[in-house]
Structure 1
Amino acid sequence: MVTCPQVYPTARHRLCQWHIQQNAISHFEKLKSDRSFQNLFNKCLNGCYNESEFEETWRKMMKDSGLEGHSWFKRLYKHRVKWSTALNNEYFSAGILSSQRSESTNHAMGFQASKTTSVTAFFGIFETTVRRWRSEEERKEFNGIRSMPTSVYPLVDLLLHTSQVYTVKLFRIFEREFALAMGTRATILPIDDSMLVYRVQPAASEDGARHVTYDCSNQLIEYTCRKLQVMGMFCSHIIRVLHMHSVGEILNRYILRRWTKFSKKAMWERLLPSDIRISAANDAINWRRSMLIATNHLITKCHNVVEARLIFEKLCVKANEEVQSLLFKLSMDEE
């Protein structure tokens, strides 16, 4: 029997934090109104920096609340690697901590369907829902590429650059991190050659300090915060250091392609490599493959817009006429 680890050996199974919080409510009992307990529990979920901090916070919560012998919390601790962010900060998860996306998908379909809905009717609902999703996605993609998002902050070079590179939604996330960065203070630690080490922490608190090592000569960054691995985007600590050094652009090595405005274009370019384009005139099979990919991409973009479909159909008719005329002329020349 084939198991999941054999099929997906590098996959990281996670538990939904939202469901853990909901299940925990039934086990809190008198602790439901204990603010100190709730703060410690939430910190264990996604507020700890590393494993040692998690263990310390968990022990304090269990001791202060008298939960050392509680069976549910024992089981929860046993599976801690599946839900605590402190133990998963080396794995990319796009910042997703719950199954909210799956739940929203179920809701989008479920509010129109019921147990008595026939398969035919359900398929119609499904098609309509997917068509709406794709239309919304295309609209956002169109607006994101052809417009610039506004900001409540002055568009310094770093914000301006990210607004040009990231999608609107990811730019908003970066903008929030930028705002957090402006609320931190950075203390420079002993310097070793061109390597600068900063201790960055919230201005109004002594907690949450992170270390950022910055190499000015080639803009190499080392950091103790793992947000770049988990989210694929700089955290406020790194942004603070970059802003202090008047860095106006993020190097490509630190930009996750999937978060950029042109990720789809890059995907199609990978499917249509340059060597195939160069050899297209001499290699009929490769040329047919490249044209099928390009045409399919264009058809996908047009199929939801009647005007676009008409333009594509007219071009196909015109191209067919010109090709037929050329082939006829070539056949006459051969005779």
Structure 2
Amino acid sequence: MKNAIEEVLPGTHHRLCAWHLLRNATTNMCSPRFTSKFKDCMLGDYEISVFRNKWQTLVEKFGVEEKEWLNKIYEKYRSWATCYIRGKFFAGFRTTSHCEGLHSLIGKYTKPHYDLSEFIEHFQRMLGHMQFRKFYAEYESARGVPVMQTCIEPLEMCAADTYTREVFFLFRPILIRSGAMRVVDYQTRDNSVIYYVCRYAKLANVWEVEWVDNGNAITCSCMRMESFGISCEHIISVLA
């Protein structure tokens, strides 16, 4: 699959399924504690240097430097470590469960013994069901207004009007977290302004948010918006 993706879809980034990786870690390492630490290294939103330090600590702590499976999987870190995938758009998907869920839905409507005409008939029923779910989601998004829960009510209300209800409920916790962010400094360039954002004004972690004047675009060094399609709390703190 990896070779086919590189040949047919050269502009994409192949990502390994997190669920399968954790299952393989459990099978090969036989240690729930190791699997838990491995999961943290894989899914933690760390900088590259932090990831490498955590990985080295993990290997040394469990004494698995010579474990063949672990060494092979580390060679593929660009396909599973969050710090190397950051900025690649996956819409929040980490596993193949979405695809497998579709396969399961098809299996509920179609059976192996169906002939071609029966398969088409029941497949059309499945498409009708999916279309109904889409219309229902749109209806839920248009019906009523969710209760505002943040102190940035105008921005929250705008998000409620712009996003579908399901995406809005994903966005609101990010909006709440933005209240802990502080702009501690900024720097003006030719056609842009770079804002330096910290959590509770502590300089342990600093994110750079760049606003480009002529393009009316805004980006953040965490690159979560590029990865998930939803603004991060650092950008929101600058906009607010």
TM-score by length of 1: 0.61
The answer (yes or no) to whether the contact 1:196–1:213 under 8 Å persists in 2 is: yes
Change (3 A) 1:120 1:181: same
**How do 1:154-173 residues align onto structure 2 when only pairs under 5 Å count?**
156-173=153-170
Q: Shift in Å at residue 174 of structure 1? A: 1.1
2:89 aligned residue: 92
Whichever structure has more helix as a proportion of its residues is 1
Aligned mates of 1:6, 1:28 — CA distance in 2: 33
Residue 187 of structure 2 aligns to a residue whose secondary structure is coil
Letter in 1 for 2:96: S
Change (3 A) 1:145 1:5: same
The answer (yes or no) to whether the contact 1:148–1:163 under 8 Å persists in 2 is: yes
The answer (yes or no) to whether the contact 1:212–1:238 under 8 Å persists in 2 is: no
Counterpart pick for 2:196 among 179, 192, 198:
198
Counterpart pick for 2:137 among 129, 136, 140:
140
Q: Shift in Å at residue 23 of structure 1? A: 1.9
Change (3 A) 1:226 1:216: closer
Q: Shift in Å at residue 226 of structure 1? A: 0.9
1:213 aligned residue: 209
The answer (yes or no) to whether the contact 1:92–1:232 under 8 Å persists in 2 is: yes
1:273 aligned residue: none
Change (3 A) 1:186 1:135: same
Larger CA deviation: 19-28 vs 127-136: 19-28
Q: Shift in Å at residue 88 of structure 1? A: 1.3
The answer (yes or no) to whether the contact 1:54–1:86 under 8 Å persists in 2 is: yes
- 1:218-239 per-residue CA deviation (whole Å, 9 max, x = no partner) reads 8764422110111122112222
Quick one: percent identity of the two aligned structures?
Answer: 21
Which consecutive residues of structure 2, in runs of 5 or more, have no partner in the other structure? none
Change (3 A) 1:112 1:61: same
The answer (yes or no) to whether the contact 1:200–1:212 under 8 Å persists in 2 is: no
Residue 73 of structure 1 aligns to a residue whose secondary structure is helix
Moved over 6 A (4+): 216-219
Change (3 A) 1:210 1:118: farther
Q: Shift in Å at residue 52 of structure 1? A: 2.2
Letter in 2 for 1:213: V
Aligned mates of 2:89, 2:6 — CA distance in 1: 18
Change (3 A) 1:87 1:192: closer
The answer (yes or no) to whether the contact 2:91–2:227 under 8 Å persists in 1 is: yes
Letter in 2 for 1:228: M
Letter in 2 for 1:139: Y
2:76 aligned residue: 79
- 1:3-54 per-residue CA deviation (whole Å, 9 max, x = no partner) reads 543432212211111111122211231x21x2xx444312221214332222
Q: Shift in Å at residue 181 of structure 1? A: 2.2
Change (3 A) 1:213 1:237: closer
Aligned mates of 2:62, 2:135 — CA distance in 1: 51
Which consecutive residues of structure 1, in runs of 5 or more, have no partner in the other structure? 244-335
Q: How many equivalent residue pairs?
A: 233
Q: Shift in Å at residue 94 of structure 1? A: 1.3
Q: Shift in Å at residue 154 of structure 1? A: 5.5
The answer (yes or no) to whether the contact 1:109–1:125 under 8 Å persists in 2 is: no
Aligned mates of 1:160, 1:125 — CA distance in 2: 41
Larger CA deviation: 126-135 vs 150-159: 150-159
TM-score by length of 2: 0.82
Residue 98 of structure 1 aligns to a residue whose secondary structure is coil
1:188 aligned residue: 184
Change (3 A) 1:152 1:192: closer
Higher relative contact order (CA 8 A, sep 6+): 2
1:328 aligned residue: none
Q: Shift in Å at residue 192 of structure 1? A: 3.5
1:255 aligned residue: none
1:109 aligned residue: 106
Residue 192 of structure 1 aligns to a residue whose secondary structure is strand
In terms of Rg, which structure is larger? 1
Letter in 1 for 2:125: T
Larger CA deviation: 96-105 vs 211-220: 211-220
Aligned mates of 1:236, 1:199 — CA distance in 2: 10
Aligned mates of 2:112, 2:4 — CA distance in 1: 32
1:58 aligned residue: 55
Aligned mates of 2:7, 2:104 — CA distance in 1: 32
Q: Is 1:20 the counterpart of 2:21 in the alignment?
A: yes
Q: Is 1:129 the counterpart of 2:131 in the alignment?
A: no
